[in-house]
A and B are shown apart, each in its own frame.
Chain A
Amino acid sequence: GNSVTQMEGPVTLSEEAFLTINCTYTATGYPSLFWYVQYPGEGLQLLLKATKADDKGSNKGFEATYRKETTSFHLEKGSVQVSDSAVYFCALIRNAGGTSYGKLTFGQGTILTVHP
């Protein structure tokens, strides 16, 4: 079946440090890949997505590249801020025939804390 594995956390960084959160997946076919973020006390928000191999998703300074050869979708940001402190979830949707199978499969989440 489909699965997503994220690097074990939590991750603690100083402001302006470089961030990498690793994500690898197992899926049949060509899934769409996502990063969601959950800020304290808030719901899940879509951060970025990529729908095919070598696509790069980007938003708010975060980037992730869909690497089919390594089945990875690592999240990166060059300079984190205190406001980036949140829980980050990698997720996939299985696709076929140009449409979506609907359900998101999530990783276990990585807690990021950024100190001033």
Chain B
Amino acid sequence: DTGVSQDPRHKITKRGQNVTFRCDPISEHNRLYWYRQTLGQGPEFLTYFQNEAQLEKSRLLSDRFSAERPKGSFSTLEIQRTEQGDSAMYLCASSWTLTGSGIKDEQYFGPGTRLTVT
């Protein structure tokens, strides 16, 4: 079990540029989540996938944000036309959750990607 990995760990970009982050979940996990955390706050939910299906998106996820999980394994989060308000830590988590099998919703988090928009 290698844990959840995220790449890159740090990204500095200029306002207006596009950025893409990658998350590799724990291999047998079927759910993958994206959260955003700003300084001094708890993480806020952005979106999640069950296998390759995107099941829920937060209202925080504006049209500039898009997430994919094309083969039900790794996921990418893209931010287009970045703004300074996008500066945050972007966290990925995964879990093994079977519908109807009981509540197995322990989410395991990666180290995060810290985005700084200048």
Report if A and B associate in a common complex: yes
**A28 vs B112: C-alpha distance when bound (angstroms):** 30
In the complex, the answer to whether B100 meets A100 with C-beta atoms within 8 Å is no
In the complex, the answer to whether B109 meets A108 with C-beta atoms within 8 Å is no
| Cross-interface CB contact of A32 among B103, B110, B112, cutoff 8 Å | B103
Given contacts A51-B103, A98-B103, A99-B99, contact A106 B111 (CB under 8 A): no
| Minimum CB distance partner of B108 in chain A | A46
**A5 vs B104: C-alpha distance when bound (angstroms):** 24
B11-42 to A contact mask, C-beta < 8 Å, 1/0: 00000000000000000000101010000111
In the complex, the answer to whether A103 meets B48 with C-beta atoms within 8 Å is yes
In the complex, the answer to whether A44 meets B106 with C-beta atoms within 8 Å is no
Given contacts A98-B100, A99-B100, A103-B48, contact A46 B43 (CB under 8 A): no
If over half of B's interface residues share one DSSP class (helix, strand or loop), that class is named, otherwise mixed; here it is loop
**A61 within 8 Å of B (CB atoms):** no
If over half of A's interface residues share one DSSP class (helix, strand or loop), that class is named, otherwise mixed; here it is strand
Tally of contact residues, A, Cβ under 8 A: 27
Tally of contact residues, B, Cβ under 8 A: 33
In the complex, the answer to whether B106 meets A102 with C-beta atoms within 8 Å is no
In the complex, the answer to whether A44 meets B43 with C-beta atoms within 8 Å is yes
- Residues of A contacting B93 in the complex (Cβ-Cβ under 8 angstroms): 44, 104
**A93 within 8 Å of B (CB atoms):** yes
Chain A 1-23 residues near chain B, CB threshold 8 A: 4
Please report A residues at the B interface, Cβ cutoff 8 Å: 4, 32, 34, 36, 42-46, 49, 51, 89, 91, 93, 95, 97-100, 102-109
**Can you report 28 A-B residue pairs in the complex whose CB atoms are below 8 A from each other?**
A4-B42, A32-B103, A34-B106, A43-B91, A43-B110, A44-B43, A44-B91, A46-B108, A89-B42, A89-B43, A95-B105, A98-B100, A98-B101, A99-B97, A99-B99, A99-B100, A100-B105, A102-B33, A102-B55, A103-B33, A103-B45, A104-B35, A104-B43, A104-B45, A107-B42, A108-B41, A108-B42, A109-B40
Please report B residues at the A interface, Cβ cutoff 8 Å: 4, 31, 33, 35, 40-45, 48, 50, 55-56, 58, 91, 93, 97-112
